Amino acid sequence: MKDSILNIADLLIKKGLPYAIYCLPGDSTFNLVFQKSKILGHFDILNIENASGFVVAPFDSAKTGMANLIIPDFVLTEGDNTDAAIEFINTFPDNGNFHFTDNFRISKSDYLERASYLINMLKKGELQKVVLSRVVQKNLKTKLNINKLLKKLKEKYNDAFVYLFHLPDEGTWCGASPETLFKVVKNSIFIDALAGTQLVNNDNPPTLRTDKKSTTPIWTPKENEEQNFVSLFIKSLLSELGINNYKQTGPVTVYSGNLAHLKTTFNIPVSFDKSKTGRLIAGLHPTPAVCGLPKAEAYMLIQKAEQHQRRYYTGFLGPWKMGDYLHDCNQVSQLFVNLRCAELDHNKINIYVGGGLTTSSNPKAEYQETVHKSQTLVSVVENL
């Protein structure tokens, strides 16, 4: 039977098995990976070269150094026969659920007050940048349909990493991330510095530069500064690890749904010393784009300033050293920053959004940016 793998998602949650469904940027086909055991795997990020499966690292892995690993006992792609998988899944009792967390949600006035306080700290020179986030809860008009949700996300955000994962006792998340943390493609490793945001839609277009060659946003000094922070951070980390043979391109303007971003890409030959992979990924997470600078100080400040738990928001995830059955059985190793994401329940979702604060930030503008970012998922779930 060639049933859609998207239709197995609800069954896996009901049975309480760890799984992930994902579609890589630009691809048109979803993949499903799940394990035979309900017991979730864990590993030290420094030892990631020894891991294989679907990686899910929470934000606080920056402190613990540990990530979750969904073991690829079953790996299916759309069009595969699902009979054996469904038969195995049905051997488990129906005792699983979404494990939704009713996280703290800050009011607009409190957000503006905290943003103002943090911006004043930045102006005193205590930090260069800090990212302040919040949670937006939305009730669904109808019971969540995972199949429709994933298809609509992919339809709307084809250039993003579209995914849904379920971790027993931890939660069920979906998203459409535009940011690559670390990926291996043929003979190169790619790392993205993605920072700076402008809204792009017909109702409220950004300031545009229009000429015969292009129509692109005119980026403000604040947005260019954000991008520069992230790029310099990555360059410094590469230098610290003795990685000097790389190519840097950008920044260029890229689009994700109704938003435009600045992106710089670092291209490293795949022949670099693999023993440094774990240190490189651990060093990248969390990037200044989702945490701040200096990283350690910004991380500690976030713990104090945010009343909610980020959980898997601004962590990272993706297939790691997994077989790609669509492309000559090559291994796929692609990790993405968990942005434009939400935690799911049957009839409601928590959307996680944030924005980078610098000395040039305006609290009201930063709040509005989080509103724009939330529209990535709001626009999808309101039309399921």
Tell me the range of 55-69, 115-129, 259-273 where mean pLDDT is highest. Answer: 55-69
pLDDT in tens, 151-191: 999 999 999 999 999 999 999 999 999 999 999 988 899 99
pLDDT mean across residues, the chain? 91
Tokens 């540990």 found at: 66
Residues 6+ apart with CB under 8 A from 308: 103, 104, 105, 106, 133, 134, 135
Residues 6+ away with beta carbon under 8 Å from 39: none
Quickly state the pLDDT bin for 3 (edges 50, 70, 90): low
Q: Which of 222, 335, 246 is nearest to 286 (CA)?
A: 335
**Mean pLDDT, rounded, for 146-150:** 94
Most distant CA pair in the chain: distance in Å?
64
Region 210-226: mean pLDDT is 72
pLDDT value of residue 375: 87
Q: What is the DSSP letter of 274?
A: G
Tell me how far apart the alpha carbons of residues 281 and 185 are, in angstroms, rounded to a whole number: 16
Residue 285: name the closest of 259, 258, 318, 309 by CA: 318
| Residue pointed to by tokens 């993949």 | 31
Task: Write the pLDDT tens digit of every residue in 305-337.
Answer: 999 999 999 999 999 999 754 444 467 899 999
Rounded-to-integer distance, Cα 200 and Cα 149, Å: 23
User: DSSP string of 91-116?
Assistant: TS-S-------------HHHHHHHHH
Q: Which of 157-166, 203-212, 226-235 has the lowest mean pLDDT?
A: 203-212
Q: Write out the two tokens for 33.
A: 């990976």
CB proximity list for 355: less than 8 A, separation 6 or greater:
131, 132, 133, 197, 366, 369, 370, 373
Boundaries of every domain in the chain: 5-381
Give me the pLDDT at residue 324, please.
Answer: 55
Task: State which fold the 5-381 domain adopts.
Answer: Anthranilate synthase (3.60.120)
The β-bridge relationship of strands 129-139 and 208-210 is unpaired
Structure confidence at residue 257 (pLDDT): 77
